[in-house]
């Protein structure tokens, strides 16, 4: 029997912390290691979908005009629709989103509890879990029904921390959802946009080491211009600059996650 996929949700109620960048490049790093990966864009701003669009992929249907009927909001609204992730490249697939996801998110609040509105995504992941080694979810910022769906679907939660910003409040949203739903999901802080020359970066690294030693990745995603350029071009870092520091960081992150899984989520 094929082992079920590991579902990883990238969650932070704050924006601008590198969630989408992490989903795209962590997924690509795992695909480079011959893992079958499905990314899910659970953000009505559809930044992940945009970052996967590239003129060279026109034949792969990765254009917004073709998403009607095969976006995440369609699947969540109608479980009878066959789920058909779009191929981005070898080993890497995407379930895209559009602005219509915002309407679905709002409708979840009006659902009766018996309709299990916060389990919609978990059910979808269960339906495709035997086709992939990893399902990686890009959750939208802010407190929403979609964030609750992302948290409840996850086997592992990653909370990106922008090391040029502030640590306070970073995990409040996801921890609140976990508490309210009695979730004991393994979770790890990921430091992104790190610059050693900045005191704010060094302070966040020190605080995480001191207060969340068992719940932070050793790997740090350093600020790298190639990561921004790649996303703007509709490419992941391995397609754009495979020898860059950004590619090296995401290779290390993929290796660390695989090691954590092998040890049973225990650092």
Count Cβ atoms below 10 Å from residue 67 Cβ, excluding itself: 21
pLDDT digits (tens, 9 = 90+) for 41-77: 999 999 999 999 875 655 555 554 568 788 999 999 9
Q: State yes or no: pLDDT of 169 exceeds 90.
A: no
Model's pTM, two decimal places? 0.93
Domain that holds residue 92: 6-262
Whether the per-residue pLDDT at 24 is higher than 70: the answer is: yes
The band of 2, judged by pLDDT with boundaries at 50, 70 and 90, is low
Contact 116, 61 (CB under 8 A): no
Is 1 among the domain residues?
Answer: no
CB atoms within 10 A of CB 72: 29
Strands 156-162 and 6-10: parallel
- 66 within a domain of the structure (yes/no): yes
Name the least confident of 15-24, 29-38, 114-123, 160-169: 160-169
Query: How many folded domains does the chain comprise?
Result: 1
Contacts of 49 (CB under 8 A, 6+ apart): 41, 62, 64, 67, 94, 96, 97, 98
CA 180 to chain CA centroid, Å, is: 22
Averaged pLDDT score across all residues of the chain: 89
Mean pLDDT of 3-29: 93
**pLDDT confidence tier of residue 209, bands split at 50, 70 and 90:** confident
First-to-last CA distance in the chain?
Answer: 28
Residue 33 CA to residue 238 CA, distance in Å, equals: 12
For residue 267, is it within any domain?
Answer: no
Is the Cβ–Cβ distance between 166 and 5 less than 8 Å? no
Q: Would you say residue 32 lies in a domain?
A: yes
pLDDT of residue 15: 81
196: domain CATH number is 3.40.50.300
Tell me, yes or no, whether 174 lies in a domain.
yes
**Tell me: the pLDDT tens digits for 82-132?**
999 999 999 999 999 999 999 999 999 888 888 898 999 999 999 999 999
The whole-number pLDDT of residue 266 equals: 46
pLDDT greater than 90 at residue 216? yes
d(CA 185, CA 54): 35
In whole angstroms, give the CA distance from residue 86 to residue 70: 9
**What is the model's pLDDT at position 143?**
76
d(CA 245, CA 232): 18
Query: Rounded distance, CA 187 to CA 216, Å?
Result: 8
What's the pLDDT at 82? 93
Q: pLDDT band for position 164 (50/70/90)?
A: confident
- Residue 114 in domain: yes
Q: What is the pLDDT of residues 223-261, one digit of tens each?
A: 999 999 999 999 999 999 999 999 999 999 999 999 999
Strands 134-139 and 37-42, sheet pairing: parallel
Q: Residue 70 domain-assigned?
A: yes
Q: Is residue 81 part of a domain?
A: yes
| One-letter-per-residue 3-state SS of 210-265 | HHCHHHEEEEEEECCHHHHHHHHCCCCHHHHCCCCHHHHHHHHHHHHHHHHHHCCC
Q: Three-class SS of residue 55?
A: helix
Q: Distance between CA atoms of 196 and 221, rounded to whole angstroms?
A: 11
């Amino acid at each position: 029997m094929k082992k079920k996929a590991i579902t990883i949700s990238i969650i932070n109620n704050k924006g601008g912390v590198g969630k989408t960048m992490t989903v795209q490049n962590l997924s690509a790093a795992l695909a480079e290691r011959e893992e079958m990966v499905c990314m899910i864009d659970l953000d009505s701003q559809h930044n992940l979908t945009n970052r996967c669009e590239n003129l060279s992929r026109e034949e792969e249907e990765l254009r917004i005009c073709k998403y009607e009927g095969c976006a995440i909001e369609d699947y969540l609204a109608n479980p009878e629709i066959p789920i058909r992730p779009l191929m981005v490249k070898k080993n890497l697939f995407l379930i895209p989103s559009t602005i219509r996801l915002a309407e679905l998110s709002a409708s979840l609040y009006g659902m009766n509890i018996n309709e299990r509105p916060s389990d919609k995504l978990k059910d979808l992941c269960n339906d495709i879990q035997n086709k992939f080694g990893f399902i990686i979810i890009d959750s939208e910022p802010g407190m929403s029904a979609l964030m609750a769906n992302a948290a409840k679907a996850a086997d592992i939660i990653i909370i990106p921390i922008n090391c040029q910003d502030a640590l306070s409040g970073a995990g409040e949203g996801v921890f609140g959802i976990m508490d309210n739903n009695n979730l004991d999901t393994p979770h790890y802080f990921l430091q992104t946009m790190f610059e050693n020359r900045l005191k704010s970066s060094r302070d966040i690294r020190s605080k995480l080491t001191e207060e969340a030693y068992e719940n932070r990745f050793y790997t740090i995603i350093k600020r790298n211009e190639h990561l921004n350029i790649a996303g703007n071009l509709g490419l992941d870092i391995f397609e754009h600059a495979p020898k860059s520091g950004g590619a090296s960081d995401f290779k290390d992150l993929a290796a660390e996650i695989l090691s954590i899984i092998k040890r049973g989520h225990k650092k």
